[in-house]
Amino acid sequence: MKVVFFPRNIGFLKGLSNDDKLNPSVGFGIVNNTDGDRVCVNEYSLIEYFIDGVPENKFLADADWHKLPVGFKKNKDYTKYRNLIESRLNSLASDEFADFKSFSKTAQLTNPNDILYAIGKEWLVGRDIINGYNFDIEIEGDKYKLVRKAKTWTENYGDKPSSYFEYTKNLYENYEDAMTASKGLIANYYVQMQESFKLNIEDSILWILEKIPEDKKQECEFILRLLPYSRGFCLRFYEGEVLFTNGGENNWRIVFSLKT
C-alpha cells in the first residue's frame, strides 16, 4: 500500500473556519488504482471509541443485558438516553487499547509508516465505515443492550465518500510538500478574493456614475474613490442621492447628492 498526502481544497477549509481566516490542512489516503493522470484515493479516519475494550468498528452488540437506570424511559428523556449511550463509549480497558495508547504517544499521522501500522491494526479505518453507523440501545423490560446500527440514507445524506479520484499533480509522497501546497492554495485564494473585491468596488462606482449627470461625474467619482470600502459594502442611488454602507441595515449614509 502506498500512502499519499494532499492539500485540502478551499471548500473544505471554509467548512473548518468560523471566520474569514483559513488555516492550511493536509489529508492522507492510500492509493487504490490509477486512471491516466488521476488516482483513486481511499481516505481513512481514526476510530474514536472503545466499548468494553472493543474498538467501535469491531463492536456489534452487547452479549449480555445490562440493568437500566431507575426510572429510565427512552422516549421520555432524550438527555438520559444519550447519556446512557455515551457512558458506554470510550471504556478503555483492554490490551488492544493499551497498545493503541502506547502507539499514540509517539505516532504521527504525517509519517507514512505510522499510518500503515495503524491501518494494519484497524485503528485507522475507511471513512465510509466510521460514517456508516450510530450507536443505540435496545430495551427489554428493565434491561438494555448497546447495539451498533447502520445509518439510514437520510442520516448518511451529505457524507463524503471514502474513495474518490484526485489528479496526480495534487498528490505528494510526504506531508511537508502537501502542507506547502496547502499554504499556496490559501495564498492564491486570498489574492483572487482581493482582486475580486477591487473589481466589485470598481463595478459599483461605474454603476453609480452612469446615473450621474456629466457635469457632476468628476466630483462624484472623486468622493466615491475616497470611501473606506470593506467587505459587505454597498452603494445605492436613490432619488438623486448616493447612499453608502459598509454593512448593516441601518448604517446607510448619504455621500453625494444632486439636490444641493
> Are the C-beta atoms of 56 and 47 separated by less than 8 Å?
yes
The model carries a pTM of 0.71
The pLDDT score that the predictor gives to residue 92 is 60
Closest CA to 45 of 131, 108, 142, 171: 131
Cell of 120: 494494519
The average confidence (pLDDT) of the chain is 86
> Are the C-beta atoms of 69 and 144 separated by less than 8 Å?
no
96 has a pLDDT exceeding 80: no
198 has a pLDDT exceeding 60: yes
Q: Which residues contact 151 (CB under 8 A, 6 or more apart)?
A: 131, 132, 133, 134
At 244, is the pLDDT very low, low, confident or very high (cuts 50, 70, 90)? very high
User: Looking at 16-25, 191-200, 204-213, which range is the least confident one?
Assistant: 16-25
Domain ranges of the chain: 3-173, 186-247
Of these ranges, 14-18, 49-53, 127-131, 223-227, the one predicted with the greatest mean pLDDT is: 223-227
Average pLDDT over residues 32-53: 82
**CB count in 10 Å sphere of residue 13:** 19
> Are the C-beta atoms of 164 and 41 separated by less than 8 Å?
yes
Average pLDDT over residues 52-76: 85
Which 3 state secondary structure label does DSSP give 58?
Answer: coil
249 has a pLDDT exceeding 80: no
